[in-house]
Chain A
Amino acid sequence: MGTDNSKSIPESDRDTLARRDFIKMVGGGIVVFFAADSTAGGAQFPGMRQETDLNAYLRIAQDGKVTVFSGKIEMGQGNTTALAQMAADELGTALESVTMVMGDTDLCPWDMGTFGSMSIRVYGQAMRAAAAEAREILLALAAERLRKPKSRLGIENGVIFDTEDKTARVTFGQLAQGRKITRKLDGKAALKPPSQFRIMGKPTARLDGVEKVTGKAKYTGDLRFPDLLYARVLRPPAHGAKLKSLDVSAAQKIPGVTVVNQDGIVAVLHADSETASKALAAIQSEYEAQESALDENTIFEHLVKTAPQPRSLDPRGDLAAGEKMSETVFEETYLNGYGAHAPIETHTACAKMEGGKMTVWASTQTPFMDQSGIAGALGMPSESVRVITPLVGGGFGGKSAGTHVVEAARLAKITGKTVQVFYDREEEFFMTAYRPAAVVKIKSGIDGSGRITLWDYNVYCAGDRGSEQYYDVPHSLIRTYGSAMGGMMGGPSQHPILTGTWRAPGANINIFAKESQIDIMAAKCRMDPLEFRLKNTTDARMRRVLEAAAGRFGYKPAAAPSGRGVGIGCGIDAGSYVAQIAEIELNSGAVRVRKITAAQDMGICVNPKGALMQMEGCIMMGLGYTLTEDISFRGGRIFTSNFHNYRIPRFSMLPEIDAFIVKNDELDPQGCGEPSVVPVGAAVANALFDLNGTRVFQMPLTPERIRAASRS
């Protein structure tokens, strides 16, 4: 990956050189570096790390301030705050003493990207190990300086003291003074147990809150440069369309406009973004579109027909035997169309070439992948490309892809100016790597006592996340057909448009299908859906979240349909367990969700305030894929263009959300940014069935689909 022109230098020397550079850049003090062979650090995508990664996790400066370096980015999920809490607590200093540097490829350790709810559970735990290591270094220095045994020393608020004589004390700053200590993380220093947490586990307000409410927060598009040009890039009218003819003369006549037609990019640039947009509109172009009959209705048959041989997961028993054991067999098909991420900040990148170095500020979830991408596209060594990630205005998986970064870099190189590329809203809906359309086919069976005997699960083109078996089924097989991310990650794709990752990729349709099927079986044997689930799972964490949600909701058992409009959904995602109970009504044929009670077991919870905000956000966002969001297209043409025809959740859809955390300090921190989005579709669909016996098999659950289903 990327270009490494330093192969001729022996690795140990390269280490030293790069470390010397790093120290020069950030100053002296105590610095803990990553080591590839450490268990903590190596946990993150072993083998994919760049060899040139020699950056540090953290530095304690000579004034006692701590800087933590993370290749993760902040897009609203609050990882900056939680990571600072982890560092401060593990070191024994105040939260205010910690500064986070996020997503800067020159300063931060290599990172694959901010997705999969991994900031805390993967990077955070490795960084905590680095902080624990630094704490041991500080304790050793303090023992020497105070002439006390290390075992007698305590740490509080950046001060190390003798627990038997508190007048003997020394600050982190005093210890770091005049030092240049560097350490490779070996992961041997023990992490603090939850009983010793002082900052972790406490509800903590966002560290970036004040700048965000005062308008001072800087996103990529807010950066100002004296020579800044806004670039608008010509897009085809349909995906896959080829440019036939181009006339830029009218655009060229607009004063101050620069037209670029080079390296496969047609772009217009101007110091005023609206003039750039006008120039774009003045370009005359003709395209040859590939005609395709595929649209949002015919896509599902296409996906099943063209699917390659499946990959089998977690085989248990024998499906034929399971069918024989079953008293009743259920065969159902579940569908979900394409979805868009629709962050309020559209994809934006700003690039500047100076002295042979390309610096790109980008609204991205993957700064290091972008660095490699730019280096490859421009034929530059990776070290000559720096990607800096300012605050990101929402990502949801959509900013793991995009053309903006390379386009800005190319245009900056071509024009010699600082160039900003940003998508307008229609472009954002056109250019996003869509959540893939998906088909799930399930054949399941129960015996006469309401035990699940058969589970034959087939998911097409959405991926396997969320399909894991957590029910005790003797004869079970999960098969995944085709790629969810063809086009984005390479490899063949059955999707006619670019698809990628959308918050908890694949899990939303998988949990919708699976948990709907569970309710269908429960209804057949006239059993309460909660009782049916508990009867069929011995998974202790799942039972605990289900029971906790039911208790909090005041759930009364009843077989569905009970007429109440109450439904359950549960799932596992990113190591966390979630259970939700939805209560709905129908309002002029449309689902109106009145309440959602949500339980989440996420292991150690670093910031309960931030975690609840993520849970609530997941639930409210989940109502969008459940009820309203669907991409309309034909062939490569996308008809969805703005928020009037892509209805994302808004205030009038807001239910009462009662989210709470099921404490589990026995377990390391698990994911939080995605888990609570996964059961929303199932909980709402099951609540609709409970209300009036209508079962809808396709999301979103629109009034038309509800009407059609209630007639059948």
Chain B
Amino acid sequence: MKETIQFTLNGKPTTIEVEGDRTLLWVLRTDLGLTGTKFGCGMGLCGSCTVVVDRKAVRSCRLPVRNVNGKDVMTVEGLAQGDALHPLQKAFLEYGAVQCGFCTPGMLMNAYALLLQNPDATRDEIIQGMDNNLCRCSAHTRIVQAIESVSK
């Protein structure tokens, strides 16, 4: 059954009529056209679908869309302010933390939430906090360097 769900999406008030048990991931990708958030495993094991809900990193492939009612949702598309890239985005470019780029949106959003919770995260805290985000191109060295450069 369709429900009315109201939330803030990348700073904009958003209202949608959808079946509430659909996952946030596919509603974002299909109904809202925000394809930056990726499907990777469907079980919350790889982190490529990570978005930030009320300042916390969430796996959108497991989250029923009705659970974001009244909440603040941020996807990779909301990270830059217009043409001005977020410091994390700049750091990913500068350090070469991107290869195929498919895990990148999830990495960025997980790192964004990590630094919201812990702005001075140490290298060990970054490694621990990012451990459930997978990158098969294995760009880990540079992803850690990029996040560290923003943390300090």
**Partner among A78, A642, A651 whose Cβ is within 8 Å of the Cβ of B140:** A651
Q: Report B82-112 CB contacts with A as 1/0, cut-off 8 Å.
A: 0001000100111010111111110010000
* A-B interface pairs (CB < 8 A), number: 171
In B38-70, which residues have CB < 8 Å from any A CB? 38-43, 45-46, 48
Task: Determine if B9 is an interface residue (Cβ-Cβ < 8 Å).
Answer: no
Task: Determine if A668 is an interface residue (Cβ-Cβ < 8 Å).
Answer: no
**Partner among A210, A213, A394, A648 whose Cβ is within 8 Å of the Cβ of B100:** A394
For residue A556, which residues in chain B have a CB less than 8 angstroms away from its CB? none
Residue pair B102, A651 in contact (C-beta under 8 Å): no
Task: Determine if B73 is an interface residue (Cβ-Cβ < 8 Å).
Answer: no
Given the known interface contacts A215-B35, A650-B134, the answer about A344 and B45 at a Cβ–Cβ threshold of 8 Å is no
For residue A273, which residues in chain B have a CB less than 8 angstroms away from its CB? 26, 30
B41, closest chain A residue (CB): A425
For residue B138, which residues in chain A have a CB less than 8 angstroms away from its CB? 616-621, 649
**Listed residue (A209, A274, A621, A651) with the most chain B CB atoms within 10 angstroms of its CB:** A651
For residue A274, which residues in chain B have a CB less than 8 angstroms away from its CB? 22-23, 26
Residue pair A394, B136 in contact (C-beta under 8 Å): yes
Interface of A is mostly: loop
In A179-229, which residues have CB < 8 Å from any B CB? 205-206, 208-219, 221-222, 224
Distance between Cα atoms of A373 and B78 in the complex (Å): 40
Task: Determine if B116 is an interface residue (Cβ-Cβ < 8 Å).
Answer: no
Task: Determine if A295 is an interface residue (Cβ-Cβ < 8 Å).
Answer: no
For B, the interface residue count at a CB cutoff of 8 angstroms equals: 57
Task: Determine if B150 is an interface residue (Cβ-Cβ < 8 Å).
Answer: no
B22, closest chain A residue (CB): A274
Residue pair A214, B96 in contact (C-beta under 8 Å): no
Within the complex, the shortest CB–CB distance from B48 to chain A, in Å, comes to: 5
Residue pair B99, A344 in contact (C-beta under 8 Å): no
Given the known interface contacts A273-B26, A617-B138, the answer about A214 and B76 at a Cβ–Cβ threshold of 8 Å is yes
**Partner among A77, A219, A652 whose Cβ is within 8 Å of the Cβ of B99:** A77
A643, closest chain B residue (CB): B45
For residue A78, which residues in chain B have a CB less than 8 angstroms away from its CB? 99
A223, closest chain B residue (CB): B35
Given the known interface contacts A215-B36, A344-B134, the answer about A643 and B46 at a Cβ–Cβ threshold of 8 Å is yes
Residue pair A221, B140 in contact (C-beta under 8 Å): no
Residue pair A224, B33 in contact (C-beta under 8 Å): yes
Distance between Cα atoms of A609 and B93 in the complex (Å): 12
Distance between Cα atoms of A620 and B33 in the complex (Å): 34
Q: Report A629-667 CB contacts with B as 1/0, cut-off 8 Å.
A: 000000000000011100011111010010000000000
For residue A213, which residues in chain B have a CB less than 8 angstroms away from its CB? 76, 85, 89, 92-93, 98, 101, 104, 108
**Listed residue (A76, A612, A618, A649) with the most chain B CB atoms within 10 angstroms of its CB:** A76
Residue pair B135, A613 in contact (C-beta under 8 Å): no
A209, closest chain B residue (CB): B93
Residue pair A205, B93 in contact (C-beta under 8 Å): yes
Residue pair B40, A425 in contact (C-beta under 8 Å): yes
Chain A interface (Cβ < 8 Å from any Cβ of B): 75-78, 205-206, 208-219, 221-222, 224, 271-274, 341-346, 391-394, 396, 422, 424-425, 609-610, 612-613, 616-621, 642-644, 648-652, 654, 657
Q: List 21 A-B contacts (CB under 8 A).
A: A76-B102, A206-B96, A210-B85, A213-B101, A344-B48, A344-B135, A344-B136, A345-B38, A345-B102, A391-B100, A394-B99, A425-B46, A612-B96, A613-B99, A618-B138, A619-B138, A643-B134, A649-B140, A651-B127, A654-B140, A654-B144
